[in-house]
Structure 1
Amino acid sequence: MTPQILAALAAVEREHAVRVLFAAESGSRAWGFASPDSDYDVRFVYVHARDWYLRLGEPRDVIEQMLPDDLDVSGWDLRKALRLFARSNIALYEWLGSPIVYREDPAFAVPARELIARHFQPAAALHHYLGTARTTFHEHLSGETVRLKKVFYFLRPILACRWIEQTRTQPPTAFAELVAADWVHADERTTIAELQHRKQLASEADREALDPTLAQWMRDQLEHYARIGPSLARRTEGNLDELDSLMIALCDR
């Protein structure tokens, strides 16, 4: 799909008179547990010519396209992206950490990745991942049977919570890196490996009973991170001047 994705990004540039600074895969393909029929979720950051930002009004700052072959292409204008970046936006941080990158301007990507550490807010990030895990558990994993894919939609955010608990840093985007961390126990890795093997053999619609021991472990994890979340101190806000400088430098190129 890479040629189609690159063509779609080039079309965006022509049609909207923008320059794509960064484009990467997000969602299950970036995490590493996509199904064969999973969509391609391409997320990108783009910049307009400098004069576009000198208007009194603020035109639409999002570009969204649904294309053939299950290709979902969506991007944020640079000013919008940097405003969200300053507020510790997890989605944007995950794009920058994606293992599948389609386009990358080093003038944007390199400093942006370096600045994550100064703007990352552990308490807010843990709240985000815990909320995702909790919603997945109650909506998809509390019935008599479950889809294995949804088990991984719980495991990834809960292991991201553990990463934050241990390091106070942005978790990696790839699920394999979360599983490989030193604080993931050997028995947990064994269980995850078995689940991955079963998922590879199952079709998207297959359902099975959730192991009671695993279900209890999930409830224990939710309770644990709900308990420790408030104890994570909020960091001092990052310096907006450095983001302003990045914005100016990229508009001037």
Structure 2
Amino acid sequence: MTPEILAALTALEHERGIQVLFAAESGSRAWGFASPDSDYDVRFVYRHPRDWYLGVIEARDVIERMLPNDLDVSGWDLRKSLRLFARGNVALYEWLGSPIIYREEPVFAQRLRELLPRYFQPASALHHYLGTARTTFAEHLGGDTVRLKKVFYFLRPVLACRWIEHARTQPPTAFAELVAADWVDTAERDSVAELLRRKQLASESDREPLDPALKQWMQAQVDHFTRIGPSLARSREVDNSELDALMVELCG
């Protein structure tokens, strides 16, 4: 699919008069547990010519397209992206850490990766991941049978919470790196490996019973991270001068 994705990005550049600075896979393909029929979720950051940013009224700063062959393409304008980066946006941080990169302007991506530790907010990030896990657990994992996809949509954010608890850094985008961390025990790794083996053979809609012991473990994880979340908050001095300078450099 890479040639088709690159062609779609180039077509958007010509159509919208933009430059794609960064494009990466997100979602289950970037995480490493896609099903055979999973969509391609391409996320990108783009910039307009300098004069676009000088208008009195800010124009729409998001591009979204659903294309054939299950290709979901969505991008944010540079100014929007830098604002969200400064606010600790976990989604953008995950794009930068994706193992599947389609396009990358070195100045943009390298600079943000260098700045990320300064802007990362452990309590806020844990709250984001815990909210995802809690919602998935409540809405998709309470019935007699469950979709294996949703089990992993719980496991990944919970292990991201554990990464934040121990490392106080942005968790890796790839699920395998979360599982390989020192604070994941052997029994947990073995359980994940078996679930992953079954998921890779299943379609998006396949369902199966959820092991009661696994369900109990899931609830314990939610309870634990709900308790510790507030303790991870930290104060920080906010100086966005380097982000301002990057904006000028890329749009000057």
- Please classify the TM superposition score into its range, dividing by the shorter chain length: over 0.9
CA shift, 1:206, in A, is 2.0
Please list, as runs of the form range in 1=range in 2, the aligned pairs for 1:150-161 lying within 5 A after superposition.
Answer: 150-161=150-161
Counterpart check, 1:89 vs 2:89: yes
Query: Does the residue aligned with 2:8 lie in a helix, a strand or coil?
Result: helix
Q: What does residue 184 of structure 1 align with?
A: 184
Compute the displacement of 1:235 (Å).
Answer: 3.5
Aligned residues: 252
| TM-score where L is the length of structure 1 | 0.98
Cα displacement (A) at 1:209: 1.1
Percent identity between the two aligned chains: 75
1:31-78: per-residue Cα shift (whole Å, max 9, x none)?
Answer: 001111111110000011111111111011111111111111110000
Q: Which residue of 1 aligns with 2:122?
A: 122
Work out the CA distance in 2 between the residues paired with 1:200 and 1:11.
Answer: 33
In structure 2, do the counterparts of structure 1 residues 238 and 169 end up closer, same or farther at CA, with 3 Å as the change threshold?
Answer: farther
Deviation at 1:203, TM superposition (A): 3.0
The answer on 1:139 being equivalent to 2:139 is: yes
Q: Deviations over 1:182-219 (max 9, x none)?
A: 00011100110111112123333221111111000000
Shift of 1:132: 0.2
List alignment gaps of at least 5 residues for structure 2.
none
The whole-number CA distance in structure 2 between the counterparts of 1:249 and 1:63 is 23
Report the Cα offset of residue 237 of structure 1. 4.3
The correspondence of residues 56-95 of structure 1 with structure 2, limited to 5 A, is 56-95=56-95
Structural RMSD (CA): 0.9
Deviates more, 1:216-225 or 1:227-236: 227-236
Whole-angstrom distance in 2 between the partners of 1:72 and 1:226 = 33
Helix, strand or coil at the partner of 1:146: strand
3-state SS in 1 of match to 2:21: strand
CA contact (8 A) 1:19 1:47 kept: yes
Paired residue for 2:103? Answer: 103
Q: Does 1:214 align with 2:214?
A: yes
SS at match of 1:92: helix
d(CA) in 1 for partners of 2:61, 2:204? 35
